[in-house]
Amino acid sequence: MKRIVSLLLVSMLALSLMACADTNGGTVYKPANADELFKGLSAQPAATAEAEAEEPADAAAAAATEGESFAQYPILLTSGGQSADYQMISTVMGKMNMDFQVNNLATSKDLGDAKTLIVVVGGSSKGLGAAGIDANGELARLKELLDGAKAGGLKTVVMHTGGEARRGDLSDKFIEPVFSYADYAIIVSSGDKDGLMKGICESNGVEYAEIDSISKVTGVLPELFAAKAAAAPAAEAPAEAAAEAAGESFAQYPILLTSGGQSADYQMIGTVMGKLKMDYTVNNLATSKDLGDAKTLIVVVGGSSKGLGAAGIDANGELARLKELLDGAKAAGLKTVVMHTGGEARRGDLSDKFIAPVFGYADYAIIVSSGDKDGLMKGICEDNKIEYAEIESISKVTEVLPELFAAKAAAAPAAAAPAAAPAKEAAPAASAEATKTEEKAAEPEKKGSAFAEYPIVLTSGGQSADYQMIGTVMKKLNMDYTLSNLATSKDLGDAKTLIVVVGGSSKGLGAAGIDANGELSRLKELLDGAKSAGIKIIVMHTGGEARRGDLSDKFIAPVFSSADHAIIVAAGDKDGLMKGICEDNKIPYDEIDSISKVTEVLPALFN
């Protein structure tokens, strides 16, 4: 009779332990038949209800109680759908010094001496294409691999860390087949709002951890390998705090600036740094051989298929280049500053492929908040004790970046501001120039004269049709102008005002027989010529949201930074990029609702 009562108590207790809170802020689920899942971890089976009640509530804790981890090294890490998520997990694991190999196309032949298989689930059509496999082939590969792992007695940990972005027809195709093999699962909650993954785990008696974001993986995954994780070295104090304690600047000149994904974002940062008179060289394809005497490496992360194509490199080649460069910088003792300034537009399969590998090397990071709504970048920084600044828009870089080089800024001639002052105060040359521009704009008003004078040369900045639309408007207004979409300084003639309408078009560039780099060179020569001749420069962006993207953005910073006045259609500046450039450089501007409002704003500059 006592035995029957004891058995009943054991059953009730097992049911009561089906869910429990995890110390990492997520939720850990323990199935009712968890004893089967953890079978073999303890040499002594529980004989009484009292002994059963003393068991830990999750697998990792149970293993630790017996002095043995739930899972063992070495690990084989693979993808389940060929998204970039497995690469992010690889970076996290590398930072935690975990013993693993990664193979996105692994089969059972690649298991070798592995004791644990980790599969990161997330489908990507681009990733499948790059791997030379289709969804059905990927499913067949995974089945063969998972069957082999099971037959070999390996533990299988399945992860879905891509959140809501990794749900849909393609990703969902991999979820059930892979999760059904799991011995343990880790799930980012935003990707399981319908409860599909938790449901599979609970139905199959599989324990899982539900976490808020991918950054929380660092609190869950090591617990499964507790025995080795305990030996991980202690984290160092933040680098910036150490620099401050020593009374030095955090980073030093000269700087090498490069891209991390070949988007145009690094060019925008180059323009900002130029305006701030920072000592730097730029090389979008830099390797460790290009470090020279640099003391700081700045990598601006953002993927662009067009940019990669123009650079003659693919995503894997770019990742290999970055790893070699970052390893070289680290070995040489350089500071590495990583930036993601492209906002939400620089998130997706391609850009995300570069985030974790590059941010993992950072000594300091600068992040535009709209690009980190999932907390991925802040999470990487926080988990690795990396100092970071979160800013609202790329224009705020001028306030943050100079502070890292405060010692040099403080030593600049005629600097009245303290070392930690915003860039506009810390870089006297740039401020003086901006003030001069502002005074010029105000001067005609005092004299009762117009801000700008006729005649006008009107040109394109990117070869979109927008300059033709402005030409039509100006014709209707009987304005004195000539139109040349490929104007150079030789075409300025007796012009007193230059108007550049910014907007990129691949078709327009093709029709004009020029590529984007050639167009940038043309514009630089033209703008320099206009400036040296004392011609007023009016820059316009009137194409709205349709004229934003990799190509158009390539022209914005270089052209807007030369403006004496700017006209901006609001729909094209939701991220504040153009207004930010104007405000930082003391350039007056008009923000209008639509191109039709040009008729009210433009003539006023010539009255």
Looking at the fold, whether 559 and 483 belong to one and the same domain comes out as: yes
Q: Is 261 exposed, middle or buried (0-12, 13-18, 19+ CB in 10 A)?
A: buried
Domain coverage including residue 256 = 239-424
Query: Which pLDDT score, from 0 to 100, does residue 513 have?
Result: 94
Query: Which pLDDT score, from 0 to 100, does residue 434 have?
Result: 33
Q: Does 411 score more than 70 pLDDT?
A: no
pLDDT band at 307 (very low <50, low <70, confident <90, very high): confident
Residues 6+ apart with CB under 8 A from 426: 402, 406, 409, 410, 412, 415, 417, 419
Handedness of CA 370, 371, 374, 379 (dihedral sign): negative
Looking at the fold, whether 275 and 188 belong to one and the same domain comes out as: no
Q: Does 239 score more than 60 pLDDT?
A: no
Handedness of CA 602, 605, 606, 607 (dihedral sign): positive
Average pLDDT over residues 350-358: 93
Q: Is 322 in contact with 265 (CB distance < 8 Å)? A: no
- 481-532 pLDDT tens trace: 999 999 999 999 999 999 999 999 999 999 999 999 999 999 999 999 999 9
- Tally Cβ neighbours within 10 Å of residue 333: 7
Q: Is 539 exposed, middle or buried (0-12, 13-18, 19+ CB in 10 A)?
A: buried
Query: Which pLDDT score, from 0 to 100, does residue 95 have?
Result: 77
Terminus-to-terminus CA distance in the chain, angstroms? Answer: 104
pLDDT band at 65 (very low <50, low <70, confident <90, very high): very low
Looking at the fold, whether 420 and 437 belong to one and the same domain comes out as: no
Least Cα distance to 119 among 153, 160, 88 occurs for 160
Distance, CA of 574 to CA of 256 (rounded, Å): 30
Query: Which pLDDT score, from 0 to 100, does residue 30 have?
Result: 45
Looking at the fold, whether 281 and 158 belong to one and the same domain comes out as: no
More confidently predicted of 79 and 415: 79
Of 175, 203, 233, the residue that ends a domain is 233
Angle value at C-alpha 165, between 164 and 168, nearest 5 degrees: 85
Query: Which pLDDT score, from 0 to 100, does residue 15 have?
Result: 37
Angle value at C-alpha 59, between 376 and 48, nearest 5 degrees: 155
What's the chain's length in residues?
607
| CA 44 and chain centroid, separation | 50
Percent of residues, the chain, with pLDDT higher than 70: 78
- Tally Cβ neighbours within 10 Å of residue 16: 12
Average pLDDT over residues 185-208: 93
pLDDT band at 69 (very low <50, low <70, confident <90, very high): confident
Query: Which pLDDT score, from 0 to 100, does residue 449 have?
Result: 56
Looking at the fold, whether 439 and 564 belong to one and the same domain comes out as: yes
Looking at the fold, whether 68 and 153 belong to one and the same domain comes out as: yes
Looking at the fold, whether 299 and 324 belong to one and the same domain comes out as: yes
Looking at the fold, whether 343 and 455 belong to one and the same domain comes out as: no
More confidently predicted of 175 and 5: 175
CA atoms in the 13 A half-sphere facing the CB of 299:
33
Give the CATH number of the domain where residue 251 resides. Answer: 3.40.50
Q: Does 607 score more than 80 pLDDT?
A: no
Query: Which pLDDT score, from 0 to 100, does residue 248 have?
Result: 67
pLDDT band at 26 (very low <50, low <70, confident <90, very high): low
Distance, CA of 209 to CA of 1 (rounded, Å): 38
Distance, CA of 433 to CA of 40 (rounded, Å): 74
Average pLDDT over residues 441-450: 42
- 141-188 pLDDT tens trace: 999 999 999 999 999 999 999 888 899 999 999 999 999 999 999 999
Average pLDDT over residues 77-81: 96
More confidently predicted of 493 and 52: 493
Of 233, 256, 278, the residue that ends a domain is 233
Strands (DSSP E) along 420-469, which ranges?
456-461
Q: Is 94 exposed, middle or buried (0-12, 13-18, 19+ CB in 10 A)?
A: middle
Query: Which pLDDT score, from 0 to 100, does residue 200 have?
Result: 94
Average pLDDT over residues 532-550: 93
Radius of gyration of the chain (CA): 29
Query: Which pLDDT score, from 0 to 100, does residue 412 have?
Result: 36
Of 187, 207, 233, the residue that ends a domain is 233
Average pLDDT over residues 546-557: 92
Looking at the fold, whether 397 and 270 belong to one and the same domain comes out as: yes
| Structural element, H or E, at residue 201 | helix 196-203
Q: What is the DSSP string of 124-145?
A: -HHHHHHHT--HHHHHHHHHHH
Looking at the fold, whether 243 and 225 belong to one and the same domain comes out as: no
- Tally Cβ neighbours within 10 Å of residue 43: 6
Percent of residues, the chain, with pLDDT higher than 90: 54
Query: Which pLDDT score, from 0 to 100, does residue 529 have?
Result: 94
Distance, CA of 483 to CA of 84 (rounded, Å): 47
- 86-119 pLDDT tens trace: 988 988 888 788 999 999 999 999 999 999 999 9
pLDDT band at 27 (very low <50, low <70, confident <90, very high): low
Q: Does 429 score more than 70 pLDDT?
A: no
Q: Does 21 score more than 90 pLDDT?
A: no
Query: Which pLDDT score, from 0 to 100, does residue 586 have?
Result: 80
The count of structural domains within the chain is 3
Distances (CA, A) of 214 to 161, 321, 382: 6, 25, 12
Query: Which pLDDT score, from 0 to 100, does residue 55 have?
Result: 36
Q: Is 374 in contact with 214 (CB distance < 8 Å)? A: yes
Looking at the fold, whether 229 and 243 belong to one and the same domain comes out as: no
Q: What is the DSSP string of 56-83?
A: -SSHHHHHHHTT--SS-S-EEEEEESB-
Query: Which pLDDT score, from 0 to 100, does residue 246 have?
Result: 42
Looking at the fold, whether 229 and 245 belong to one and the same domain comes out as: no
pLDDT band at 406 (very low <50, low <70, confident <90, very high): confident
Query: Which pLDDT score, from 0 to 100, does residue 567 have?
Result: 96
β-bridge mates for residue 389, sequence order: 366
Work out the mean pLDDT of the chain and round it to a whole number: 80
Q: Is 603 exposed, middle or buried (0-12, 13-18, 19+ CB in 10 A)?
A: middle
